[in-house]
Amino acid sequence: MDKKILRHKMLNLRNQLSAKECEKRSEQIAEHLLNTDAYQRAEYLLVYMHYQKEVMTNQIITHALNVGKHVFVPRVSGKDMEFYEIHSFKDCSCGFHGILEPSKTCGSLPEVFCNMLSSPSKQNTLMILPGLAFDATGHRLGYGGGYYDRYLSQTGIECEKMAVAFSFQIIEHVPYEEHDILIDCVITD
């Protein structure tokens, strides 16, 4: 199936969720994610701020902040995306497409890592990615902007890449291109 058609189909399915169902399923996903080894050992968490009926990430972010993890969320500028450390949701305001983004006073991921004794590695850094469809081989269908693929290939950051998704977003085969970055696993409801 063509990526554009699949995006449209998956957006339609996701938009059929009621706000209450989206919240309930997101809580189940968060509970599963918080119990994974990858999350438990992560010192650094790179996580998206949910938008519309994506899997909600506020419970994950709140937990991570409460247990002392370094939490980084993205800010978009043109075709580029960078992660910035937040210490609470008060560090964010509406940005690109109305999505909460960190303020310009927050430290960027490279700045923060330069000032720390330990450095990010695949063992202590977890990235939680959004998406529309996923398959068992690690392919992910995003929204078409290429922000995460570009960010990961340009920065070369070592991290475990975990997606969160509603169960209907797992399909047999996601169309992909050579430059698409594979994810390590998907957590569902």
pLDDT in tens, 54-94: 999 999 999 999 999 999 999 998 989 999 999 999 999 99
* pLDDT of 117 above 70: no
Mean pLDDT of 46-53: 95
DSSP state of 30: H
This prediction's pTM: 0.93
Contact 64, 44 (CB under 8 A): no
Query: Residue 118 has what pLDDT?
Result: 58
Query: Residue 68 has what pLDDT?
Result: 97
* pLDDT of 45 above 70: yes
How is the chain split into domains, by residue range? 3-187
Consecutive H or E run containing 92: strand 92-94
Indicate the fold that domain 3-187 takes in CATH: Rossmann fold (3.40.50)
Residue 127: name the closest of 51, 69, 66 by CA: 69
